[in-house]
Amino acid sequence: MSTVAEQALRRRTFAIISHPDAGKTTLTEKLLLFGGAIQLAGTVKGRKASRHATSDWMALEQQRGISITTSVMQFPYNGKIVNLLDTPGHEDFSEDTYRTLTAVDSALMVIDAAKGVENRTIKLMEVCRLRDTPIITFVNKLDREGRPPLELLDEVEKVLGIQCTPITWPLGMGREFKGVYHLLEDRFYLYSGDKHRVSEIETIDGLNTPGLAERFGAPYQTLLDEIELLQMAGTDFDLERYRAAKLTPVFFGAAINNFGVRELLNGFTDWAPDPLPRHTESREVAPTEPKFSGFVFKIQANMDPKHRDRVAFLRVCSGIYRKGMTLHSVRLGGPVRVNHALIFMAADRESVEEAYPGDIIGLHNHGTIAIGDSFSEGEPLRFTGIPNFAPDLFRRVVLKDPLKAKQLNKGLDQLSEEGATQVYRPLTNNDIILGAVGTLQFDVVQFRLRDEYSVECVFEPVQVYCARWVTGSDDKLFKAFVDKNETRIAKDHYGDLVYLASSSVNLSMTQERHPDVRFLDTKEHG
């Protein structure tokens, strides 16, 4: 087997999707502990403390500085190389969170046992569905009183539309939490409540081992009843259905006490797919191809005025990236100078000279790279599936000094190419409307306009409920639609038409009136 095939097969590139406070940060930290990437618990937590303090620019800067290194965490486990991509979730929730999900091969969904499926999870799951990304579920916080596990699984199935296959099952909950039963191994893992007992977990083999009823009491009987129900329902694990995103294996645990995490990580590294082939406009690219290719899914600006560069995060799709190699930008049709590339490696950053399919590399540049850009060794491959996502938040830009309109436009063009915000210019007036999925995006845009383009502006609320890209196959009908709704239509940065609905009723009525027009909530770049 070639080196690239061998290395690609070892890669597991994934992200965690969850609603804020479900336990993503805690779980990340424990995964890194198991992976040997960090020695002490608390390393990732520090980041969260800074994440909660926003709006103060210092905090923002600090946070973004830190998050370059935490954007990708790589660690070895069970002979695999795991790449965990950060999905900003609190105030730093942004379109990047969605786009990161286009760069992974699978995802891990964390659910709070007391809260069940929450709205951010629903949105992130919709993004995963665009590419049928396989999902493993972790139900967290079993050390607290939560909802009955069967009810939680039922909610996942109904709300998220994916079949659940429990791999572990809780023995009690809250104060009565005694551990989990592993259905595939026929083994109990017992919970002691102590933090960080990684290697000393007591296990008991066999569901019907004598003495368990006496030892565990009512929770054991409940578990037996529930397991019987599960078996009758016939929800056996099926690798193919998991890989096709039709089924999600479910694990239960308490991340804070390191419980249930190892079983989760074992399941993950055994089942999660290695790098998948990727579509381009011209052909499918297999990870094992010898020539390098990849695409940019995220751009992060350096907030330090002394180092005004940007780091573009590129997912390697095929071949090998070697330090110092020349990359061909498909959009620009030529080589792009990259001062030095960062290869993310938690364990031993110094010695890494190469990156393989599934890995992420960071390219320093001064604005020559845009979101969605494809890179290769020369072949004009344009990767698809790295879309813009319709924003949920909108502001009108009000320029303080009207003479700065040119700089404002230049700044907004650059910022929209970097994916920091989306810019809409209505057809019938001179407004500029910004769209974002997280409020911090507006803070970043305002700061960068001032800092990099010397443009002072304020953002006002605007009566826009949502944006939908509109297209129509019948030119005449489409023109009639545009003429009739001119005041609610704008052009995005790339000149594509967007319908800015004033309310959900307005959107559905317009859709009803124009069945021939397509209203899209994602749009491919370019």
- Sign of torsion over alpha carbons 87, 91, 92, 95: positive
Residues numbered 80-119 forming contacts with ligand G4P, rule: CB under 6 A? 89
Rounded Cα distance between 388 and 424, Å, is 13
Rounded Cα distance between 303 and 473, Å, is 44
Indicate which single residue of 94, 137, 140, 422 sits in contact with ligand G4P (rule: CB under 6 A): 140
**CB 148 to ligand G4P: min, Å:** 17
What backbone torsions phi and psi does residue 481 show, to the nearest 5 degrees?
Answer: -60, -45
**CB 191 to ligand G4P: min, Å:** 11
Q: How far is CA 368 from CA 160, 246, 310, 414, 419, in A?
A: 39, 40, 9, 10, 13
Nearer residue to ligand G4P within complex by CB, 26 or 288: 26
Please report whether residue 143 would count as binding ligand G4P according to CB under 6 A.
yes
Q: Provide the 3-class DSSP secondary structure of residue 389.
A: strand
**CB 113 to ligand G4P: min, Å:** 9
Nearer residue to ligand G4P within complex by CB, 22 or 360: 22
Please report whether residue 20 would count as binding ligand G4P according to CB under 6 A.
yes
Indicate which single residue of 13, 18, 168, 300 sits in contact with ligand G4P (rule: CB under 6 A): 18
Question: Could you tell me if 375 and 330 are in contact, meaning their C-beta atoms sit under 8 angstroms apart?
Answer: yes
Helix (H) or strand (E) holding 341: strand 341-343
Q: How far is CA 48 from CA 29, 43, 372, in A?
A: 11, 10, 28
**CB 26 to ligand G4P: min, Å:** 3
Residues numbered 21-40 forming contacts with ligand G4P, rule: CB under 6 A? 21-26
Indicate which single residue of 128, 167, 256, 381 sits in contact with ligand G4P (rule: CB under 6 A): 256
Rounded Cα distance between 201 and 189, Å, is 7
**CB 263 to ligand G4P: min, Å:** 14
In sequence order, which residues have a C-beta less than 8 Å from that of residue 40 and are 6 or more positions away? none
Q: How far is CA 138 from CA 155, 319, 366, in A?
A: 14, 33, 40
Compose the 144-163 pattern: x for residues touching ligand G4P by CB under 6 A, - for all others. x-------------------
Please report whether residue 255 would count as binding ligand G4P according to CB under 6 A.
yes
Nearer residue to ligand G4P within complex by CB, 120 or 187: 120
In sequence order, which residues have a C-beta less than 8 Å from that of residue 353 and are 6 or more positions away? 322, 323, 343
**CB 90 to ligand G4P: min, Å:** 6
Please report whether residue 48 would count as binding ligand G4P according to CB under 6 A.
yes
Please report whether residue 376 would count as binding ligand G4P according to CB under 6 A.
no
**CB 27 to ligand G4P: min, Å:** 7
Q: Using CB under 6 A as the criterion, which residues of the chain lie in contact with ligand G4P when the complex forms?
A: 18, 20-26, 45, 48, 89, 140-141, 143-144, 254-256
